[in-house]
Amino acid sequence: MTRFERSSLLLMLPSALVVAIFGLYPVLESVRLSFYRSILTLPWLGTKRVGWENYADLWNDPVAAQSLQVTLVFLVATIPAELVVGLGLALAMNRSFRGRGWLRAAVLVPWAIPTVVCSQMWRFIFNDRYGLLNFLLFGADVRSYWVPLAEPGPALAAVAVAEIWKTAPFAALILLAGLQTIPDELYEAAAIDGATAWQKFRHITLPMLKPAFLLALLFRTIDGLRVFDLVFVMTQGGPADATNVLSFYGYKKTFAEGSIGYGSAVAVIVFALAMLLALGYLGALRRARGGAR
């Protein structure tokens, strides 16, 4: 081992330790707990190893199945919108014009607000009596006021809107970084060949952005799969379980009902899903990077 390698390892040690303590340990502990049956409020039943029983129960649990469906609908509804809005913001931020600094700062605001605060804000916006939404839609016509959070479909849509607002700036940041790696020469050459703005966008910007898109997709999918705070503040999973995403279901099982093993099994499934998707994206990302070179 050279001196350089040794000092590099030493330098990585602190971060590796932090990852091990705060990342690896909780995951392994959740996996371990998911093989036990332990109900906090029934301590006399003890903590018993039950093998795959929690997973078998989970497989047959219609509430979990519905919860998975809600989570997937939520992902499909939010991620494309986040990427499209993010791309628009990134393109705007990438141009040079007066006030660009202000725009960049403003775009980051939603992302910088703590999620709980932002959830509370959207809960107010969607409130039927004093919410901004009803005021914008109907003005002073109180009779027409609508209560989106009281209806299953609209409640999920409301949570999705809050998520898009909150995270599109993040997608924008990654896409902006991607935009800035595209060499100007490509656009100049295209201009000489007489390409229109649309052709430049379609044949240069989009293909060159593919790795950045995949990266944004990766981060957003993992985050979207784990969405919790918005649901916790805005709807508590209701009405009719329409916003009962997997993470919230696992939380209820663990902390409200005290079923530590079962709740851990839900958490492990969320983790496994995120892991699988992440590996898929990383593979695609590697191919895209290879292709771009």
Partner 1 sequence: MKDHQAIPLGAAPLLFLLVSVPAGGGEARAASVLHFVGWKSEAPRVWDEAIAEFERRNGVRVVREVGPSSSTQFHDLLAQKLKNRDRSLDVFLMDVIWPAEFASAGWALPLDRFFDRAAQDEFLEAPLEAGRYGGRIYGVPLFIDAGVLYYRADLLAKYRLEPPRTWTHLVEQARTIVARERDASLAGYSGQFKQYEGLVCNMMEFIFANGGALWDQARLRSAVDGPRAVEAVRFVRDRIIHGIAHRGVLAYEEPESLTLFVQGRAVFHRNWPYAWAVANDLSQSRIAGRVGMIPLPGFTPGSGAGALGGWHLAISRFSRNPDLAWRFVAFMTGEEIQRRIALSTGRAMTRKALYRDGELLRRMPQLESLREVFEGAIPRPATPVYAPLSSILQRYFSAVLARPEIDLRRRADFAGREMNRVLDLLRREPER
Single out the residue of 177, 149, 159 nearest to residue 115, CA to CA. Answer: 159
Q: Is 185 within 8 Å of 105 (Cβ atoms)?
A: no
Q: Which is nearer to partner 1, 66 or 94 (CB)?
A: 66
Q: Which is nearer to partner 1, 13 or 24 (CB)?
A: 13
User: Cβ of residue 130: shortest distance to partner 1, in angstroms?
Assistant: 9
Binding residues (CB under 8 A) for partner 1: these are 3, 7, 10-11, 13-15, 17-18, 21, 39-46, 48, 62-63, 127-129, 142-143, 147, 149-152, 155, 235-242, 251-252, 255-259
User: Cβ of residue 140: shortest distance to partner 1, in angstroms?
Assistant: 11
Q: Which is nearer to partner 1, 242 or 265 (CB)?
A: 242
User: Cβ of residue 55: shortest distance to partner 1, in angstroms?
Assistant: 17
Bond before 239 cis per omega within 30 degrees: yes
User: Cβ of residue 110: shortest distance to partner 1, in angstroms?
Assistant: 24
Single out the residue of 260, 274, 255, 265 nearest to residue 51, CA to CA. Answer: 265
Q: Which is nearer to partner 1, 216 or 266 (CB)?
A: 266
Which residues 6+ apart lie within 8 Å of 267 measured at CB?
A: 30, 34, 247, 250, 254
Q: Give the number of other CB atoms < 10 A from CB of residue 82.
A: 26
Query: Distance (Å, rounded) from C-alpha 262 to C-alpha 35?
Result: 8
Query: Distance (Å, rounded) from C-alpha 120 to C-alpha 116?
Result: 6
Residue labelled with tokens 């590697």 = 286
User: Cβ of residue 4: shortest distance to partner 1, in angstroms?
Assistant: 8
Query: Distance (Å, rounded) from C-alpha 237 to C-alpha 193?
Result: 56
User: Cβ of residue 222: shortest distance to partner 1, in angstroms?
Assistant: 23
Which residues 6+ apart lie within 8 Å of 92 measured at CB?
A: 103
Q: Which is nearer to partner 1, 11 or 109 (CB)?
A: 11
Q: Give the number of other CB atoms < 10 A from CB of residue 43.
A: 10
User: Cβ of residue 30: shortest distance to partner 1, in angstroms?
Assistant: 15
Q: Which is nearer to partner 1, 141 or 188 (CB)?
A: 141
Q: Which is nearer to partner 1, 94 or 127 (CB)?
A: 127
Query: Distance (Å, rounded) from C-alpha 4 to C-alpha 142?
Result: 71
